Structure 1
Amino acid sequence: MASLNKRVSQWIIGGVLATYSLAVSASDVEVLHWWTSAGEAKAASVLREGIEQQGHQWQDFAVGGRAGISAMNTLRIRAISGNPPLAAQIKGPEITEWARLGFLRNLNEIAEAEHWEEKIPAPLRDVMQYQGNYVAAPINIHRVNWLWVNLRAFEAANADIPTDFDSFFSAADKLQQAGFIPIALGGEPWQVATLFDSLALSVLGPQDYQRAFLDFDRKALLSDDVVKAFTLLAKMRQYVDDTGQGRNWSDTTRLLIDNQAGMQVMGDWAKGEFFAADQQEGKAFTCVAFPGTKKAFSYNVDSFVFFKPNSQSERQSQTDMASYLLTPQFQRDFNRYKGSLPIRFDVPLPKGDRCAQQSRDAFIYAQENDTLSPSMSHGLSTTRYVQSAVFDVINEFFYKPEQTPREATEALYRAILSAQA
């Protein structure tokens, strides 16, 4: 474990300094998040409206880009300078990091009053706590291991919806021959890692996936199955377009919406983009579990933390927001736009949303059968130090074909060891 001074230095060096107004009145609620796409913006508006209905003034602190990495870099600068926002979107082990440094408010009083123990699924409670105390409020559950299918392209290419890797690559060939981009992939490191994440989950299976990317077991990380996952990743190079490097995820989803691409491997936040574009599931697009992962569930959870307030009015603003996050109304409306599952399973899903129903069924099955896996590529299974090291290895392999899958596997193991030091 790195020392506190080393971590603080890394936070500052790794941060991207931006200029924001520091004058925030006591009744304002400044909220850091990275919801900037069309679907995400609609979801964020639900939170804004709820806060304003309680008599507070929403102060938007949106920092888009790189799946939240840019937002976290900026937040570190604000926190170290003594000026954090009242609330911030933080997830996974990052919650523990901030709590350990003493920045976060204890939410036990709110959790008890709102009966969080009854509303939050058991596997997700520990992530929201530090030393037995609630320090974060979860708002949803995303399934990462989805394959999104443009039904118009599949019909034009006479391709079948994939159920395994043979049918996946057969569909990719047909889509390519018909003039479509077979696999829509933005060249950001986290997007390539998301693709590898689903490949690893498929090939290793949930138990060995957890041994490799949660426990960092040497045997699992150096196994032939990880080599196979890299081999499949290499095969996918020929099916992506050559203009995708640096393209964000929502613009990549747009390739399916605009009927230019056939498939995208992405979490169900992509569904929010389809709905924002007035696309209908079952007609324009559909969702299927990534090949080999039908009975698995790789999850990502959005959550908010609240920095220690400077006044009673700030504390009340935080209390009102935290209490609102798990209300049925917010859970229903926010997650309809976000594409995710409500964290509360007693909240009904949108009528006719088959993807949401499949996701809830898959979560319940995975929870009951121990195939529920925190996503490596989305920071739920490990620290950002390890995550960054994994991203570097996967992207170097994907964009440098001269490296062999075995070499990439060994490089991945070494990178994880180094990042843990």
Structure 2
Amino acid sequence: MRRTTRFLSGTLLAYSLLAYSVSAAASKVEVLHWWTSAGEAKAASVLRQGMERQGYQWQDFAVGGRAGISAMNTLRIRAISGNPPLAAQIKGPEITEWARLGFLRNLNNIADAEQWEAKIPAPLRDVMQYQGNYVAAPINIHRVNWLWINLRAFEAADADIPTDFDSFFIAADKLKQAGYVPLALGGEPWQVATLFDSLALSVMGPQLYQRAFLNFERNALLSDGVIEAFRLLAKMRKYVDDKGQGRNWSDTTQLLINNQAGMQVMGDWAKGEFFAANQQEGKAFTCVAVPGTKHAFSYNVDSFVFFKPNNENERQSQADIASYLLTPQFQRDFNRYKGSLPIRFDVPLPEDDHCAHASRDAFLYAQEHGTLSPSMSHGLSTTRYVQSAIFDVIDEFFYDPKQTPREAAEALYRAILSAQA
């Protein structure tokens, strides 16, 4: 049995000993999520308003911080006390862990009625299922491997938008000379891992990347590609500011918005922050794929699960939420604010959102050519326990210049091996 399963099983053992009681009353819907930044809060308001229009009393349960880690810790505490929320934002392999322990409601009836098989892209359906049954409702598709560009800084520095890593470092030097932070990076482990994730995808390519970070093959993890990704990560140290330790991702994006930094590697939720600040794509900012990843798509998918209800009122409340999530109106409005793609590809994208159109084109290309990759840094390729071990190695390397890229690759392999034991 994997240590991750033992961890969740041990944490949630009290579930079988407690009377199961969902806190939401008949007219209330309590939903746990970690959407707390400016753009995320606007996106979450779309769900709140949609449920209020149906007569429900929205009971917000927002837990920000650490890319959802704080929210998951809070959820475990609620679950072992026998008092989970009606619904919770959970993604990736953690969906399987909760389903395996018997917490989650089967959503097949809703999926059949709403024709999810026809609406959800085929590569993403399995993420929402456990033993062939739907146990989660998808919301969107995020592309992780984006490089965000502050066009005002690039113009002031007379720098060209990077097309490869040589031009990336040329631009970084010009931005630094012009007084800008070349690369905005918050010092949280998951942000450093997000940068490494895209570097690894670039230099390894999707197939080798998946062998390393989805299948955890020894030869792939110890390959020259992983070593090169660490080398590039080390080279980027001198281009980040010294005030980033502990800074959250949205405050880091704010450095571009406030014209203090030139670039940021971050998923397309960053676009939601630009839009929330009334910045216009093509004038204040733009997006390009991280060098070397134009035809690759590292994805993250937001989704909700629903805990087993106590009564018919709760069951109906959950059904109404799950059904609303895939409506065209919700898909359009929520993802406009969130920066992501609608999970439904029949929902039109805003004409003025170049980044959304580029993202959809990249997804369709990657789907056709087999270059879709579940993101390691955002919990789509592995469990949170293994992911945490990976984060520790990457973070230690970034802040320890004495460690060599080869030593880091070897440490990464050992950490993953230990985490899987």
Q: TM-score scaled to structure 2, two decimals?
A: 0.96
Secondary structure in 2 matching 1:286: strand
* Contact 1:28–1:58 under 8 Å retained in 2: yes
Name the counterpart of 1:359: 359
Name the counterpart of 1:17: none
- Offset at residue 4 of structure 1 (A): 8.8
* Contact 2:196–2:394 under 8 Å retained in 1: yes
Question: What is the CA–CA distance in structure 1 between the aligned matches of 2:57 and 2:132, rounded to whole Å?
Answer: 32
Name the counterpart of 1:322: 322
Name the counterpart of 2:207: 207
Match status 1:158 vs 2:158: yes
Question: What are the ranges of 5 or more consecutive residues in structure 1 without an aligned counterpart?
Answer: 14-21
Match of 2:255, as an amino acid?
L
Match of 2:119, as an amino acid?
K
- Offset at residue 55 of structure 1 (A): 1.0
Question: What is the CA–CA distance in structure 2 between the aligned matches of 1:223 and 1:208, rounded to whole Å?
Answer: 9
Match status 1:7 vs 2:18: no
Q: Quick one: structure 1 residues 411 and 31, their matched pair in 2 at CA, closer, same or farther if it must change by over 3 Å? A: same
Alignment of 1:39-188 (within 5 A): 39-188=39-188
Q: Quick one: structure 1 residues 335 and 203, their matched pair in 2 at CA, closer, same or farther if it must change by over 3 Å? A: same
Question: What is the CA–CA distance in structure 2 between the aligned matches of 1:262 and 1:228, rounded to whole Å?
Answer: 24
Q: Quick one: structure 1 residues 107 and 358, their matched pair in 2 at CA, closer, same or farther if it must change by over 3 Å? A: same
Question: What is the CA–CA distance in structure 1 between the aligned matches of 2:237 and 2:5, rounded to whole Å?
Answer: 41
Secondary structure in 2 matching 1:401: coil
Match of 1:101, as an amino acid?
L
Question: What is the CA–CA distance in structure 2 between the aligned matches of 1:408 and 1:397, rounded to whole Å?
Answer: 6
**What is the total number of aligned residue pairs between the two structures?**
413
- Offset at residue 12 of structure 1 (A): 7.1
Query: CA deviation digits over 1:129-185, x for unaligned, max 9?
Result: 000000000010000000000000000000000000000000000000000000000
Query: CA deviation digits over 1:3-53, x for unaligned, max 9?
Result: 79832476479xxxxxxxx96422210000000000000000000001111
* Contact 2:144–2:267 under 8 Å retained in 1: yes
Q: Quick one: structure 1 residues 4 and 180, their matched pair in 2 at CA, closer, same or farther if it must change by over 3 Å? A: closer
Match of 1:274, as an amino acid?
F
* Contact 2:23–2:84 under 8 Å retained in 1: no
Name the counterpart of 1:395: 395
Query: CA deviation digits over 1:97-125, x for unaligned, max 9?
Result: 00000000000000000000000000000
* Contact 2:206–2:371 under 8 Å retained in 1: yes
Match of 1:237, as an amino acid?
R
Match status 1:279 vs 2:301: no
Name the counterpart of 1:16: none
* Contact 2:222–2:410 under 8 Å retained in 1: yes
Deviates more, 1:1-10 or 1:351-360: 1-10
Match of 1:200, as an amino acid?
A
Name the counterpart of 1:377: 377
* Contact 2:25–2:314 under 8 Å retained in 1: no
Query: CA deviation digits over 1:210-242, x for unaligned, max 9?
Result: 000000011000001111100000000000000
Query: CA deviation digits over 1:45-77, x for unaligned, max 9?
Result: 000001111111110000000000000010011
* Contact 1:138–1:301 under 8 Å retained in 2: yes
Deviates more, 1:48-57 or 1:3-12: 3-12
**Cα RMSD (Å):** 1.3
Question: What is the CA–CA distance in structure 1 between the aligned matches of 2:162 and 2:211, rounded to whole Å?
Answer: 27
| Identity between Structure 1 and Structure 2 (%) | 84
Question: What is the CA–CA distance in structure 1 between the aligned matches of 2:398 and 2:11, rounded to whole Å?
Answer: 28
Question: What is the CA–CA distance in structure 2 between the aligned matches of 1:303 and 1:244, rounded to whole Å?
Answer: 30
Question: What is the CA–CA distance in structure 2 between the aligned matches of 1:53 and 1:231, rounded to whole Å?
Answer: 53
Secondary structure in 2 matching 1:185: coil
Name the counterpart of 2:236: 236
Question: What are the ranges of 5 or more consecutive residues in structure 2 without an aligned counterpart?
Answer: 14-21
* Contact 1:103–1:308 under 8 Å retained in 2: yes
Secondary structure in 1 matching 2:236: helix
- Offset at residue 81 of structure 1 (A): 1.1
Secondary structure in 2 matching 1:32: strand
* Contact 1:11–1:73 under 8 Å retained in 2: no
